[in-house]
Structure 1
């Protein structure tokens, strides 16, 4: 045999799954889809089938369940991928329940082959194969018959040049001791994990012969459109990244005094972490940042946790949203995963061409994340900021932090080390009044002022004093009271 055989790849039609598979399913392969009841096996199989099936590439779906195919179809046709016009012409359903009751593997195999010869499919599905396996639990002889059956089925389907899927309710322990896994070219495992009151479905590619695939467990969601997979990777999506110049141009923040402290503005592609207690003006600064972008024709994305648009009472932001200048992302789910957040953010940036992003705030994101992600908030923030940086997006990210100790910390979980720039906003009591102050802690790659400036929140936004504030006691981190001037 001379020359290298090229394996053709089939796109599954399941968003995110082809990324895990390394480009798609290998044509003429023999794949096992395994998982617990309710994990999404049948839905995954149907979504792949309806995506691939055409009059030229027909699909044969065998059911060995106690329920008739009609009952299964009643639920599957609720998904948007379901196309009734394909049923009959491109997709045929066959019930093997009667053949299975005889308990004779050779009889079931012959029935499958008769249907294959009659319909000449390119895709073959058997659901649920667990029912066939259970008939083999009568000793070594039955197990040998089962292994022979699987091998025969795999070899015959390869001869017919059909891509075959076996769907079964298997646990990891079942698979390791089962002869099916040794015969199968690939295995996709689905599960749903319970953590506290949160349930998150996961998908893993256990094996996939002849191609590099992503390892690990990845989140999946079942929606009205079917299954969507969220690969765990640093930067999701296949869109091209914007190139950021070595000397990035300064991006106006919308607050003149702050731009002065930043020596012209925040460098393009940088992420600024805005740290401060509640009521200090972080959300207002974020709104001014988006307004400044809109004034220059730039689109923006605002990601809110807790502060839903209807409750913001922020006329400026609402006007930006209504004019299409800003897209707002909000979540009502209390089991949000990092992958879903990154996917939504990527989609909004690519769809709108946004160059500015505001995330408000990291303090509340833990309330929405599934428990397994709350324990590593720093990693979640790192992946989010990496996404923005690689796309050349300039971002402002807020974090609530009560600075009441003399140690000059600026964020929870040391998040300030992940940002390109850090702005500290704080209160102090001065001459019987509570005043607001800001200072730029760092800006990577460029100079900045280290002055402490007082500022006020007015109807026009944020007004920063042009003069440095000389409050020595503020350096201790504690509020201070000055004696009245005599």
Structure 2
């Protein structure tokens, strides 16, 4: 179609019907183009091919699924029937299954080409999946003949306005001749993360489209294939102006609000650093207990399930359970034993956006770290989450666990490593143990708060029937630290 001078018409694409995949492809596959989908056995090619067909016909199109050396149609239908996208009523009304192996064996690539042409015209198909391209390649008498077959498929796709998908195994050649001829190439892979194996999708090529590059998480569920783009690639645009900061949000602890300069600035991220059992989760629960139906919150927990969190909050006299019961707070429970980083972040952010959350609490970074495996990437993901929260005016708290070890007497911050946290958090709150004469004391201090005047002194705090209660001044902490310095080997500061 001609377009006005200087105006570039967008490419015509057809959606896959798989939201994450369409995001990676910037809208879908090239219409009337050819895409190779390659992967090792068990990677999910047949499921993806069928899902593309069923999604297409469910939206009014017609599709043909052609098998060569793949499993029988009856067996394939049995397997697909376990997935929610399957609809037997569409076969053969709008989805046609064709076995072309005998035609290929008896008449070669020319016979296969003629069969595809006839069936596309006969049924008016707008999507065709050819499962088993490797069989077609093996039947070619030369590389030239196989390339000619691909070229004629391109011509057929263009003439009939039909989008064609070619499913094949992962070739030993890094760049096969047909790769240079087709419009798109997707690869389904498996990657080892420790002793765990994760499914990955890579969009190597989509002609005329700036696809999201890199390895994207995917998994096969009862609903079929789900794809989760790299979260740092689809997060909010850092050049977009952030939500206007109108106020600071209360932490739920009056003294902490005072020493942070009025509370946590709206849209900021706070890092709570402290050893195990020091009260980080409790502080986060008090923060979320301030949520209302009009200003809801979301918690992502890696260590405690909902029942344990509700019991803990109840024992501390917090109204957290009421906030959950009134749907002012939603808990996402993610054990660290399994999971993919992008899938977890996608689920978390969908709920944050759906609820229009104003507060979030991630307990904690250590859980994300164990699942991510790649620590360099984790830092980028956390930085991207900060951008998303800032753009939406969401105030967030993360917890980070420090080591429980002895520091030099009289130096409560000795041994604490906070290198590189500026991209993770705008605010930093430190929670510490101090051991004096066989008794543990807890202290809290504010290291920084974005755009606020803070009280950086150490304050004693206790955990009782009302949750965390912080002493209003630094006198108690000063006495402990003075005694700590004077008592020699009988006193220790415990922290990172």
TM-score w.r.t. the length of structure 2 is 0.87
Is the partner of 1:158 in helix, strand or coil?
Answer: helix
Q: Is the 8 A contact 1:237 1:343 kept in 2?
A: no
- Structure 1 unmatched runs, 5+: none
Per the alignment, residue 48 of structure 2 pairs with 44
Correspondence 1:404 to 2:395:
no
1:364 aligned to 363, 367, 371, which one?
367
> What do the CA deviations read for 1:86-130 (whole angstroms, capped 9, x no partner)?
221111110112112226111121122222221121111100111
Cα distance in 2 between the residues matched to 1:289 and 1:161? 56
CA RMSD of aligned residues (A): 2.9
Per the alignment, residue 310 of structure 1 pairs with 307
Per the alignment, residue 386 of structure 2 pairs with 385
Aligned residues: 473
> What do the CA deviations read for 1:58-109 (whole angstroms, capped 9, x no partner)?
1111111252212111111222222222221111110112112226111121
- Structure 2 unmatched runs, 5+: 491-496
Residues 205 and 325 from structure 1, CA distance in 2 versus in 1: closer, same or farther, beyond 3 angstroms? Answer: same
Cα distance in 2 between the residues matched to 1:374 and 1:290? 28
1:286 aligned to 280, 284, 287, which one?
284
Per the alignment, residue 88 of structure 2 pairs with 84
Q: CA deviation at 1:361?
A: 1.7
Cα distance in 2 between the residues matched to 1:474 and 1:379? 39
Residues 236 and 216 from structure 1, CA distance in 2 versus in 1: closer, same or farther, beyond 3 angstroms? Answer: closer
Q: Is the 8 A contact 1:235 1:387 kept in 2?
A: no
1:440 aligned to 437, 443, 446, which one?
446
Per the alignment, residue 221 of structure 1 pairs with 219
Correspondence 1:122 to 2:100:
no
Is the partner of 2:96 in helix, strand or coil?
Answer: strand
Is the partner of 2:192 in helix, strand or coil?
Answer: strand
Cα distance in 1 between the residues matched to 2:236 and 2:434? 47
| Bigger Cα displacement from structure 2, 277-286 vs 144-153 | 144-153
Is the partner of 1:292 in helix, strand or coil?
Answer: coil
| Bigger Cα displacement from structure 2, 78-87 vs 197-206 | 78-87
Cα distance in 2 between the residues matched to 1:18 and 1:479? 62
Per the alignment, residue 269 of structure 1 pairs with 267
Cα distance in 1 between the residues matched to 2:58 and 2:203? 26
Correspondence 1:170 to 2:170:
yes
Cα distance in 2 between the residues matched to 1:419 and 1:85? 53
Per the alignment, residue 57 of structure 2 pairs with 53
> What do the CA deviations read for 1:226-282 (whole angstroms, capped 9, x no partner)?
11221124264689999522x540101101111111122111111111111122111
Q: CA deviation at 1:41?
A: 1.2
1:344 aligned to 325, 338, 347, which one?
347
> What do the CA deviations read for 1:377-414 (whole angstroms, capped 9, x no partner)?
43343333333233221011111113633554545664
Q: Is the 8 A contact 1:55 1:90 kept in 2?
A: no
Q: Is the 8 A contact 1:200 1:335 kept in 2?
A: no
Cα distance in 2 between the residues matched to 1:393 and 1:38? 41
Residues 292 and 409 from structure 1, CA distance in 2 versus in 1: closer, same or farther, beyond 3 angstroms? Answer: farther
Cα distance in 2 between the residues matched to 1:464 and 1:428? 15
Cα distance in 2 between the residues matched to 1:386 and 1:336? 23
Cα distance in 2 between the residues matched to 1:445 and 1:82? 55
Residues 436 and 370 from structure 1, CA distance in 2 versus in 1: closer, same or farther, beyond 3 angstroms? Answer: closer
Per the alignment, residue 255 of structure 2 pairs with 257
Pairing 1:89-100 to 2, within 5 Å after superposition = 89-100=93-104
Correspondence 1:154 to 2:154:
yes
Q: CA deviation at 1:157?
A: 2.3
Cα distance in 2 between the residues matched to 1:85 and 1:242? 50
TM-score w.r.t. the length of structure 1 is 0.89
Cα distance in 1 between the residues matched to 2:23 and 2:383? 21
Q: Is the 8 A contact 2:459 2:472 kept in 1?
A: yes
Cα distance in 1 between the residues matched to 2:203 and 2:197? 20
Q: Is the 8 A contact 2:30 2:183 kept in 1?
A: no
2:112 aligned to 102, 108, 114, which one?
108
Cα distance in 2 between the residues matched to 1:239 and 1:323? 33
| Bigger Cα displacement from structure 2, 39-48 vs 249-258 | 39-48
Q: Is the 8 A contact 1:427 1:479 kept in 2?
A: no
> What do the CA deviations read for 1:138-181 (whole angstroms, capped 9, x no partner)?
xxx4222222222112212211111111111123x4351x3321
Q: CA deviation at 1:424?
A: 0.8
Pairing 1:3-14 to 2, within 5 Å after superposition = 3=3, 6-14=10-18
Per the alignment, residue 184 of structure 1 pairs with 182
Correspondence 1:329 to 2:332:
yes
